[in-house]
Amino acid sequence: MDFLPLFHNLKGREVLVIGGGEIALRKARLLSEAGAVLRVVAPEVEPELSELVQKGGGRTILRCYEPNDLAGCVLAIAATDDEPLNAQVSQDARALGMPVNVVDSPELCTVIFPAIVDRSPLMIAVSSGGDAPVLARLMRARIETWVPSVYGELAGLAKKFRSQVKARFADVQQRRVFWEEVFQGDVAERALAGQQQEAERLLVEKLSSAEPKSLGEVYLVGAGPGDPDLLTFRALRLMQQADVVLYDRLVAPAILDLCRRDADRIYVGKQRAAHAVPQDQINQLLVTLAKEGKRVLRLKGGDPFIFGRGGEEIEELAAHDVPFQVVPGITAASGCAAYAGIPLTHRDHAQSVRFVTGHLKDGSCDLPWSELVAPSQTLVFYMGLVGLPVICQQLIAHGRAADTPAALVQQGTTVNQRVFTGTLANLAERVASEEVQAPTLVIIGEVVQLREKLAWFEGAQNRDR
């Protein structure tokens, strides 16, 4: 994050604008709309800018800039085509600790002007950090079409009832839940349809009958294999409204960033033989947090019901009568195979697919090997990196051909994806010579040979090794 977005209250406060031309006028219009009192300094000032300054109770000073012009101001804008002058204004303002914006010179700015979607009191700002202002304006144009002007009236309705809701619900969490229900229910529908009186009536009715909720809910959500674009709409919606997030090491940082910013985050990650929080404690924590009235997001890599212990967790929730929802995710086998260009089934090569865990609950790799060597079957091993030599040896020992194609996918669907291909006879040796990082997935079967033709998610970072 190059800039932290902030909204400034400039009402009745003086802002210095250096420059008297068209660029200065554009900035002055925005500042004036925000209620700022303008102090414009320039040898010449366009008539429209002078009129704007006068209308807002500001001053126009017809001379060159002097450092003392900054006195009493809360923001400085350098809007001239004189680069040395702009640099001087930036230096002087920074020395005073004053925010400064230099038009078309991001390196001289401590604050920048975003592209604005104004639905007052709802404001949406879009910025590229000064690197691509045209792109920011195009994005603003898109948002303009997505957010009707009536959203401002909906925000105004919330402002009108804010104090009453605060009096009704002493707890911040309870107020948040109430407003989310308002903005996603009949009240919002009426307001957005232009039926403001009906929206207000429904809000009064809802407020008078609302009761503080003492029991929360748990969302068991599959985050998929790593690419944020593979999240479901429902997963994203619940991620945005949860109060607490319990996540493990398989959840990609880019996905975690999509959770509500002010939600509490608790890491409960697991690695082979090293659990940050034991599973029984995770189960109890979900129950405890929900009984405190919180909406708890249990975010899991892949799908929670495929080697994700989701069944164990909701068993505990059900035993304590805690409400929960389950949102499936794209499991690693499906996602990683697709991004590696390996179809798990194919009419000519595999008529079935089997998902297998690379190590059991007791840490061993004692699997029903005789069932895993059936012909025309694709095997997918989760958590199979450490046990890869044993997996390959046992499959060969129980009758699978040593030249059976095999692949290991590292951090599939992400920019760090790497795919190592070989056979049962040599894959373990090839992987051992590389610095492979979990999470990984092992795919075994004739379908692996199709990767040579079907690989599409390619780049310098994920070529075959």
Per-residue pLDDT tens digits for 171-181: 888 888 889 88
pLDDT of 78 = 97
- Residue 465: is its pLDDT beyond 60? no
What is the mean pLDDT of the segment spanning 396-423?
95
What is the mean pLDDT of the segment spanning 309-314?
94
All domains in the chain, ordered by first residue: 14-113 (3.40.50.720), 151-209 (1.10.8), 217-330 (3.40.1010.10), 334-462 (3.30.950.10)
pTM, full prediction? 0.73
Nearest to 154 by CA among 126, 189, 117: 189
289 to 143, 204, 249, 304: CA distances (angstroms): 36, 30, 21, 19
What is the mean pLDDT of the segment spanning 92-106?
95
Residues 413-453 pLDDT 10s: 999 999 999 999 999 999 999 999 889 999 999 999 999 99
Q: Are 355 and 306 in contact (CB under 8 A)?
A: yes
pLDDT class of 129 with cuts at 50, 70, 90: confident
- Residue 461: is its pLDDT beyond 50? no
- Residue 212: is its pLDDT beyond 90? no
Catalytic residue among 69, 92, 227, 248: 248
Residues 263-279 pLDDT 10s: 999 999 865 555 568 99
Could you confirm whether 27 is annotated as catalytic? Answer: no
- Residue 100: is its pLDDT beyond 60? yes
- Runs of H (alpha helix) within 169-309: 172-183, 186-192, 196-209, 233-241, 253-256, 279-291
pLDDT class of 170 with cuts at 50, 70, 90: confident
Nearest to 223 by CA among 254, 180, 198: 254
pLDDT class of 69 with cuts at 50, 70, 90: very high
Catalytic residue among 206, 213, 270, 291: 270
Could you confirm whether 348 is annotated as catalytic? Answer: no
Percentage of the chain modeled with pLDDT above 70: 95
- Residue 462: is its pLDDT beyond 50? no
CA–CA dist 455, 159 (Å, integer):
53
* Annotated binding-site residue numbers: 22-23, 43-44, 225, 301-303, 306, 331-332, 383, 412
- Residue 463: is its pLDDT beyond 60? no
